[in-house]
Amino acid sequence: MTEASPENVPPRVFAVLGMHRSGTSCLTGSLQRAGLQLGRHHTWNRHNPKGNRENQDVIDLHEAVLADNGGAWDDPPDSVRWSDAHLDQARALLAEHAKGANWGFKDPRALLVLDGWKQLVPLHLVGIFRHPVSVVESLAGRGGFPRDRALDLWLAYNRRLLAEHDRAPFPVVSFDADSDEFTTAVNEVILELGLRPVADNDQFFAEELRSNDKYRRADVPAEAADVYAALRELAS
């Protein structure tokens, strides 16, 4: 165990977990409205009208970890080892945000590299998932990403989400919930995480953030259906 020094970490560190195109940006923006500090982050993205809320330094670290283990976001390695240099980069990020009460990050790659962060600091986790066909169609709409490969990735990421929850339960929300249900679920998560409540007129969520929503009740292969059912059970 190589934990970071307590004086060089934020009092609480959060990680938002979920597959790409699954509502992680919307959930992170909602937590930001409730007091979660993100540091430098993207507030605009051509695929997302409110930005993906990602810290580029965190993304760069995660991409380096994956590359050094022979993988990438779209080619998850079977196992991941953080080098001393990777751990030092993460320590520097923690130290940079040590004065904030609640600092966190969102990057779907976090599901592939989470163990390194857990070596350094206790994490407050929150997860989100979305119907596999909605995710597949969203990825396919971005440069023609192959649908069969997109479904394989949906399975790989969400199996990791389930496994992480099995190790130590944390709140999980469904991006397929109706607008009112989703807002209610997020507000409950905010309270569970000890963040400040958000007024109804200050909610981050907007229905236009959910492109490809028409697919959320489409039929899926049995393997994906089983994983999706397990995720829905967590969010019920």
Question: Concatenated DSSP letters for the chain?
Answer: --PPPGGGS-SEEEEEE--TTSSHHHHHHHHHHTT-B-SS----BTTBTT-----HHHHHHHHHHHHHTT-BTTB--S-----HHHHHHHHHHHHHTTTSSEEEEE-TTHHHHHHHHHHHS-EEEEEEE--HHHHHHHHHTTT---HHHHHHHHHHHHHHHHHHHHHS---EEETTS-HHHHHHHHHHHHHHTT-----GGG----GGG-TTGGGTT----HHHHHHHHHHHHHH-
CA proximity to 50, closest of 111, 106, 100: 106
Q: What is the pLDDT of residues 4-14, one digit of tens each?
A: 776 789 999 99
The domain spans of the chain are 10-235
Q: What is the pLDDT of residues 107-151, one digit of tens each?
A: 999 999 999 999 999 999 999 999 999 999 999 988 789 999 999
- Residue 40: the pLDDT is 73
CA proximity to 2, closest of 114, 129, 64, 91: 91
Q: At a CB cut-off of 8 Å and minimum separation 6, what does 194 contact?
A: 12
For the chain, state the CA radius of gyration: 17
- Confidence band of 1 (pLDDT split at 50, 70, 90): very low
**Residue 170 corresponds to which tokens in the numbers above?**
């944390």
Q: What is the pLDDT of residues 195-213, one digit of tens each?
A: 999 877 777 666 665 665 6
- Confidence band of 234 (pLDDT split at 50, 70, 90): very high
> What's the one-letter identity of residue 192?
E
Q: Which CATH architecture has domain 10-235?
A: 3-Layer(aba) Sandwich (3.40)
Q: What is the pLDDT of residues 57-116, one digit of tens each?
A: 999 999 999 999 999 999 999 999 999 999 999 999 999 999 888 999 999 999 999 999
**Residue 48 clears pLDDT 90, i.e. is over it:** no
What dihedral angle (degrees, nearest 10) is formed by the CA atoms of 182, 188, 191, 197? 50
**Residue 43 clears pLDDT 60, i.e. is over it:** no
